[in-house]
Amino acid sequence: MPKVSLKTIAKNKKAYHDYFVEESQEAGIELCGTEVKSVRMGQVNLKDAWCSVEHGDLLVNGMHISPYAHGNIFNQEPMRPRRLLMHKREILRLYGLVKQNGYALIPLSVYFKGSLVKVQVGLCKGKKLYDKRADMASRAAKRDIERAMKEQNR
């Protein structure tokens, strides 16, 4: 089996801060014209992006892909909704979880898998303020422990 290379283009770090990621799935993305060239140059921002299901299609909203600098009239609007490509059964399952259990669909990362652009979509539950504080405190404690261990090994 040939090895497929993965090259990460953009990560949504804010999603891990604001949500508990219960599960994640891979989806293709439908891009037009010069958007692929912009993605190759790494001009993607996922900071405030979210996914929605409309008419049986999974759409990513709020994802900013900058217009290609050497493009022309074929450049697309940077913030337009883009369709994600998944099996209908998977979309309906995710839609049911979002409607019943109060989950949110958040794009976690954009990456190349071989020559294809893929989006990792997370099924997320919102964090409360005290959860965010607890996470920050545990990360700080872990960092302090690692620092102390590193200093001790010198």
Residues 31-73 have pLDDT tens digits of: 988 888 899 998 999 999 999 999 999 999 999 999 888 877 7
Instruction: State pLDDT tens for residues 114-150.
Output: 889 999 999 999 888 888 899 889 999 999 999 999 8
Average pLDDT over residues 6-13: 91
Say what the pLDDT of residue 110 is: 95
Record the tokens describing residue 142, joined without a space: 């872990």
Q: CB of 74 within 8 A of CB of 66? A: no
pLDDT digit string, tens, across residues 74-91: 778 889 999 999 999 999
The pLDDT, as a whole number, for residue 61 is 94
**Lowest-confidence pick of 1-10, 25-34, 103-112, 143-152:** 1-10
pLDDT at 88: 95
Identify the pLDDT of residue 2.
65
Given a contact cutoff of 8 angstroms between Cβ atoms, the answer to whether 98 and 52 are in contact is no
Domains, the chain, ranges and CATH? 6-152 (2.40.280.10)
Average pLDDT over residues 4-15: 89
